[in-house]
Structure 1
Amino acid sequence: MLQRHMATTLLTVVITSVTTPSFAEAPLWESWAQPYPQRGEFAPSRQGSLQPRLQLAAYSTPAPLSNPIKQGLLDQARSLENKPQWQRSAPLGRTLVNKTLMETVQRLLNWQGALLPDALAQQFDLIPISSSNGKGHFTGYYTPLLEGSRIRTARFNVPVYSKPPNNLKNLSHADIARGALANKGLEVAWVDNAYLLYTAQLQGSARIHYTDNTTATLDYAGDNGHSFKSVASYLVSKGYKIGAMTHNNINQWLKNHPSVLFEVLTSNPRYIFFHETQNSPRTASGSLVIPGHTIAVDSRYIPHGSVLLAELPRLDAAGKNPNGTEWRILFAQDNGPAIKGDGRFDLYTGVGESASSATYSISGLHRVFMLVRKPT
C-alpha cells in the first residue's frame, strides 16, 4: 500500500537455479518470531460459516512461535477448514479450489526437504506471479512505537481517538484536527508527535509506552470513510525540499516547519480510529500476523490460504545492509486497500525501527512463486 508505505519492492518472476541460504540463516528474520498487530486498513476478520468444511485433521496443535513457518502453515490450514472444499477463490487470477490449497498446506507440513525452488519442485508446481508489467510489486508495513500518556499534559497533547458514534464518524481529518471530537470522552491516549500518530494510522496499529510505564497495543477500530492520500506525495507535489521521502526525514522536516504541520497532515482526508488492547489483532483471514512471513494480497488474484515462495534480501539485525538473498515462505493472509492487482504484495516486517528500516531494504527486483501441490 504505497499510498501508505513509501518502501517499494519490485519482484521479477523468472525461475532460475540458486545457491542462496534458506530462510533460517538471516539475522533480522530470525529475531521476528513473535507476531504483532496488523495494519488497521485491512479488512476485519470474518469467520466463515459455509458448509461443507475442510477438516484440519492432525494439524490442530498450535506450533511454537519460534517456528514461524509451521505456525503460518497451521494458520493457513485453519483458515481453509471452514471453507467449502470445492469453492474457487481468486476469480481474476489463480482460480484454485480450497481443497487444492489445503492439500498444498498439508503437504508442506509434512515436507522434509529444503525450502528452495529446486527441492520444492519435486512435489510442488512453482507458479510465477507477476503484475501487469511483468514484475511483482512489494511494499512493507510494520508496527511503530509511540510514547504516550493516559491524560493530556503539556508534552502529550495530541489526542488518539476511539471510534465515534455514527453521527460523527464521517468527519473530515481537518475537522477532527480542529477539535470536532474533543471533550466527548473519545480520547484513548495522548501522544507528543502528530506525524508519528499519522505513521501509526498509516500502518493501522502501534505499540504505545505510557508515562506510567505500562504498554499496550493501539489497534484499528475504524476510519472516517474518506479516501487515503499520501502525505509524502503531497509534499512532493508542493515542492518542499525534504530529501529522501523516508519517515525519519519527513518527521524531522515537520519538526523544523511546524507552521505547515496542519496543512501537510490533513492533506490526507482519511483518519483512523483506535482502541486499546493487550492482544495481538488478527488478519482478514483470522490469523495472527507473523513478522517476515505474512503478506497482504489482492484476493481477487491470489487466494487467502495460499503459500508463496519469494527471493528477498538478507538483512542485518537493524533491517539494513542487504547481504545476498534468501528464499522465504510467505503466507497470503490479509488485504489492503492499496494492494490491487496481480503481483501486488505487502510484507509485514515487525515492530520498531529495525522493522521500519526493513520496509525500505526489501526494495529491489526479486522472484516470487505460488506453491501448488502436484497431483499424486
Structure 2
Amino acid sequence: MLQRHLATVLLAGTITGSAAPSWADAPLWESWSQPYPQRGEFAPSRQGTLQPRLQLATYSAPAPLSNPIQQGLLDLAHSLEGKSQWERAAPLGNNIANKTLMETVKRLLTWQDSLEPAALERQFDLVSVSSKADSKAQFTGYYTPVLQGSRTRTAQFNIPVYRTPPSNLRRLSHNEIAHGALTGKGLEVAWVNNAYLLYIAQVQGAARIYFTDGSVSTLDYASDNGREFKAISTYLAAKGYKIGALSHNNINRWLLDHPAILPDALLSNPRYIFFNETQESPQTASGHGVIPGHTIAVDSRYIPHGSVLLAELPRLDALGKRQGGTEWRILFAQDHGRAIKGNGRFDLYTGVGGDAESAAYSVTGLHRVFMLVRKPG
C-alpha cells in the first residue's frame, strides 16, 4: 500500500533505542494482536463532485504490515480519503478540517523520531484534551470476549445467536425474543452454552467464537432492537445480591452458582443485539478493523474520526495488570459508543479474551491526552 511518498519509511524500522514506542518492547498489546486481514487497496477519490476531495496517491496491491501504528495511520488515511477536504465534523470541540487531519496522518507516516511529546511537538501542535470534571481525560476499555459455540443446537449449546431479522421483527422486545419469537425462522448464526457470556458479547459489540467443528469466527455487531440498554450489574446491585466485585468474570461465576436468578437478570436489559459472522477482526464505525491498544471510541462531535491522539497510559504486564509507571501511546479515533459522550471521554480497545478484559479495567481512569495537529510548513 502507498507506494509513493507516504510509505517510504516504515515506523517499525525508524524508531529505535530508548525512544522506541511501547508496542516495540511491551508484549502485552501485541499478544492480543491477531493477524489482521488486509483492508484492500485504497480507492481513488470519487469523481464528479462539486467540492474538492482529498486524494493521497496511486496504490497497488497491499503488502503485509506488521507495525500496528502504521496500520492504524493507513486506516485513518483510507477513511479520510475521498472526503471533502474542507469539511469540519466536530462542531462542539476540535473542529479541524479533514485536510489538516490528512496532513497530520501523512506527516506521521514519514516520522522518524520518538513518539514522546518533547519530540513530537517540533512538528505537531499538542492540543490538550480534557473532560469537564478534570484536566485529564476519562478512559474506559472495551474488548472482544471469547465464546464456545456450535453450528447446530445441542443439549449443551442451546442458546441462539441471531442475525438481523426482517424489518417487521427488528423491534421485538428482549422478552419476546427470549420466549421464541424468532425461533424457526432460520436466523441462528450460532448456538452458545453461556447466556451471560453472550450478554457480554452484546455489551462489547463483538466476540470471537470457537465452534465445536474446529472453526473460529468473529461475531460482529449487525444491529439491535432499538430498546434502551440497562446493565445487568445495575439490576443485581439494586436487588441487593452479595456478589462482590461487579466484574464480568465475577458476575458470570456468581450467576452460574445461582441459575434461578439468571433469566430475570438477563431480561432486565431491554436491548438485544444481532450479529454477523465474519472472518475479519471486529469493525469500527470508520469501517476498519480494531487495533488493540490503539483504537479508541470517541464522541465525534468533539473529536473527529480520523484524528491521532497521544495519551499517557498505565504500563501493563502480559496479564493486563498495571506494572507501575506509564507510557505514551499513539491512539486512533476510529469508533464510537453510546456511552462515550462529551469531550475527553475515550474507550480504548484492549484486545481479545480474559487478559484484554483485565486491561480494560486497568486503563479505566483519568489520563493525560493530546490531539496531534501538524504545524504549518
Q: Classify the TM-score, shorter chain.
A: 0.7 to 0.9
Aligned to 1:66: 66
The residue correspondences of 1:44-63 to structure 2 (distance < 5 A) are 51-57=51-57, 62=62
Amino acid at match of 2:304: P
User: What's the offset of the Cα at 1:204?
Assistant: 1.1
Q: Distance in 2 between matches of 1:146 and 1:207?
A: 6
Amino acid at match of 2:21: S
Q: Distance in 2 between matches of 1:359 and 1:65?
A: 25
Report which structure shows greater RCO (CA 8 Å, sep ≥6).
1
Q: Distance in 2 between matches of 1:313 and 1:219?
A: 28
Aligned to 2:13: none
TM-score normalised by length of structure 1: 0.88
Aligned to 1:86: 86
Aligned to 2:195: 194
Aligned to 2:287: 286
Indicate if the aligned counterparts of 1:148 and 1:209 stay in contact, CA closer than 8 A: yes
Q: Distance in 1 between matches of 2:211 and 2:54?
A: 44
User: What's the offset of the Cα at 1:32?
Assistant: 3.8
Which runs of 5 or more residues in structure 2 are unaligned?
1-17, 38-43
RMSD: 2.1
Residues 157-185 of structure 1, C-alpha deviations (whole Å, 9 max, x = no match)? 11111111112111111111122111221
Q: Distance in 2 between matches of 1:137 and 1:231?
A: 23
CA separation of 1:64 and 1:350: change in aligned 2, threshold 3 A: same
CA separation of 1:59 and 1:33: change in aligned 2, threshold 3 A: farther
Indicate if the aligned counterparts of 1:141 and 1:203 stay in contact, CA closer than 8 A: yes
Residues 192-219 of structure 1, C-alpha deviations (whole Å, 9 max, x = no match)? 1000000111111111111111111112
Aligned to 1:262: 263
Aligned to 1:326: 327
Amino acid at match of 2:193: D
**What is the count of residue pairs matched by the alignment?**
349
User: What's the offset of the Cα at 1:21?
Assistant: 7.1
CA separation of 1:316 and 1:184: change in aligned 2, threshold 3 A: same
The residue correspondences of 1:217-256 to structure 2 (distance < 5 A) are 217-256=218-257
Tell me, what secondary structure is at the counterpart of 2:260?
A: helix
User: What's the offset of the Cα at 1:35?
Assistant: 6.5
Indicate if the aligned counterparts of 1:140 and 1:347 stay in contact, CA closer than 8 A: yes
Indicate if the aligned counterparts of 2:45 and 2:55 stay in contact, CA closer than 8 A: no
Bigger CA drift: 245-254 or 62-71? 62-71
CA separation of 1:245 and 1:59: change in aligned 2, threshold 3 A: farther
Aligned to 2:362: 361
Q: Distance in 1 between matches of 2:138 and 2:61?
A: 34
Aligned to 1:8: none
| Percent of pairs with identical residues | 70
The residue correspondences of 1:275-354 to structure 2 (distance < 5 A) are 275-354=276-355
Q: Distance in 1 between matches of 2:338 and 2:366?
A: 23
Q: Distance in 2 between matches of 1:340 and 1:111?
A: 32
Q: Distance in 2 between matches of 1:98 and 1:113?
A: 25
Q: Distance in 2 between matches of 1:92 and 1:126?
A: 19
User: What's the offset of the Cα at 1:34?
Assistant: 3.2
Indicate if the aligned counterparts of 2:80 and 2:306 stay in contact, CA closer than 8 A: yes
Tell me, what secondary structure is at the counterpart of 1:228?
A: coil
Q: Distance in 2 between matches of 1:72 and 1:252?
A: 36
Aligned to 2:41: none
Aligned to 1:4: none
Aligned to 2:75: 75
CA separation of 1:35 and 1:203: change in aligned 2, threshold 3 A: farther
Bigger CA drift: 113-122 or 177-186? 177-186
Bigger CA drift: 358-367 or 49-58? 49-58
Which runs of 5 or more residues in structure 1 are unaligned?
1-18, 38-46
Aligned to 2:204: 203
Indicate if the aligned counterparts of 1:34 and 1:291 stay in contact, CA closer than 8 A: no
Amino acid at match of 1:229: K
Q: Distance in 2 between matches of 1:89 and 1:48?
A: 19
TM-score normalised by length of structure 2: 0.88
Tell me, what secondary structure is at the counterpart of 1:259?
A: coil
